[in-house]
Amino acid sequence: MDFAFTAEQQELKRQARAWLSDRFPLDRDFDAPQDDAWAELAELGWLGVSIAEEDGGTGLTFLEEAILFEELGYALYPGPYFGTIALALPALGPEERAAVAAGDVRWSGEVRGLVPWLGSVDRVVSRGSAYDARGEDLPTVDPSRPLGRLEHGEATPLAGSPDVARARAAGACEAVGIAQRALELGIEHARTREQFGKPIGVYQAVSHALADTYADVEFARSLAYWAAWCVAEGDEQASVAAAAAKAFAAEAAVAACERAIQVHGGTGFTWEHPLHRFYKRALWLEGFGARPAELRAEVADAVLGVAIRV
């Protein structure tokens, strides 16, 4: 039993945190068109993490990708990394993978009729085939992650199929990053904002809400890393672990943002403050694919057996 990242994995996490906070700082202009820095991601090797070396990747595992998903969430990265790596990659053959690793092609996947970043990716995995990304982005709760409805053109066969557990584990990791950032913003505000002559973090009504967020974040992190390990190892629990992790982490991220907004008072409710951007990403993660209650129904099927109709 060894439940911690290796020194190399911790170094990757540190590097990702540093690069992302420099390239996607919290005080950036979120309303301007967002550059997804795709070529830089390719250069960093992030697009080929789990792609074999002979296909131009680095031949690592989903665990390293999980680390990146958490950090991309923490930085509120706007580009289609989730679409390409979480939704599409498992379905792609060697040539398509090589093009992904090189940063030449952006992908997404259709899930329950919706395609993230439809207006900005090149190709889409849908109904067992690949399609050109035709169709428009629709106004979406998180504008940095628009959804669209694919106009199906010519179908191209795929080498593999999407991996639902992997996508859910990725979403869970991203949610952990969002929740962690919301917690840190809440702590920072509670330490510095003064009312009645004291920092508001002195008041237990405030500090206990943040303590509960911390407990939620750590639980979400444990489930997300467990799911990521199961996916990376092809463990038989991967499916139930990923459902559990996504259900819990998405709700934890939403709750973390809601508590952070409350702790910030009126400031937290303004367009100017970045908290609402994190909140909207959390809501997106909670609602995309299967909602927490649907995921818990899957968990119930796994632990109770499939329901008997009465």
> Which residue's CB is nearer to other proteins, number 44 or number 202?
202
Name residue, tokens 């199906």. 152
Question: Rule CB under 8 A: is residue 214 a binding residue for other proteins?
Answer: yes
**DSSP H/E element including 138:** strand 137-138
Using CB under 8 A as the binding rule, whether residue 30 contacts other proteins is answered as: no
Tokens matching residue 148: 């669209």
Angle formed by the axes of helices 292-304 and 238-264, to 10°? 140
Using rule CB under 8 A, residue 7 touches other proteins: no
Q: Does 44 bind other proteins (CB under 8 A)?
A: no
Q: What angle, 0 to 180 degrees and rounded to 10, lies between the N-to-C axes of helices 62-74 and 7-23?
A: 30
Run of H or E including 137: strand 137-138
User: Residue 14, interface with other proteins (CB under 8 A)?
Assistant: no
**Shortest Cβ 36–other proteins spacing (Å):** 30
Instruction: List the one residue from 42, 44, 283, 297 that touches other proteins (CB under 8 A).
Output: 297
By CB under 8 A, what part of segment 55-84 binds other proteins? 63
Rule CB under 8 A: is residue 289 a binding residue for other proteins? no
Give whichever of 69 and 226 is closer to other proteins, judged by the CB atom.
226
Nearest to 174 by CA among 107, 100, 77, 240: 77
Q: Does the footprint of other proteins cover residue 219 (CB under 8 A)?
A: yes
Instruction: Between 150 and 295, name the residue whose CB sits nearer to other proteins.
Output: 295
- Strands lying side by side in the sheet with 137-138: 115-116, 147-148, 137-138
- Quick check: 215 binds other proteins (CB under 8 A)? yes
Contact between residue 146 and residue 121 where contact means Cβ atoms under 8 Å apart: no
* Piece of 119-127, 132-140, 167-175, 298-306 that binds other proteins (CB under 8 A): 298-306
Query: Is residue 74 within 8 Å of 177, Cβ to Cβ?
Result: yes
> Per rule CB under 8 A, is residue 293 in the interface with other proteins?
yes
Which one of 38-46, 100-108, 127-135, 196-204 is the stretch in contact with other proteins (CB under 8 A)? 196-204
Interaction of residue 198 with other proteins, rule CB under 8 A: yes
| Complex with other proteins: residue 34 or 222, whichever CB lies closer | 222
Q: Supply the minimum distance, in Å, between the C-beta of residue 41 and other proteins.
A: 24
Contact assessment for residue 140 and residue 157, using Cβ atoms and an 8 Å cutoff: no
> Tokens 């998903």 appear where?
69
> Where is 194: in which H helix or E strand?
strand 194-195
Residue 77: what are its φ and ψ, rounded to 5°?
A: -60, 135
What one-character DSSP code corresponds to residue 33?
P
Interface ranges with other proteins (CB under 8 A): 1-6, 9, 63, 187, 190-191, 198-199, 201-204, 207-208, 210-212, 214-215, 218-223, 225-226, 229-230, 241, 244, 247-248, 293, 296-297, 299-300, 303-305, 307-310
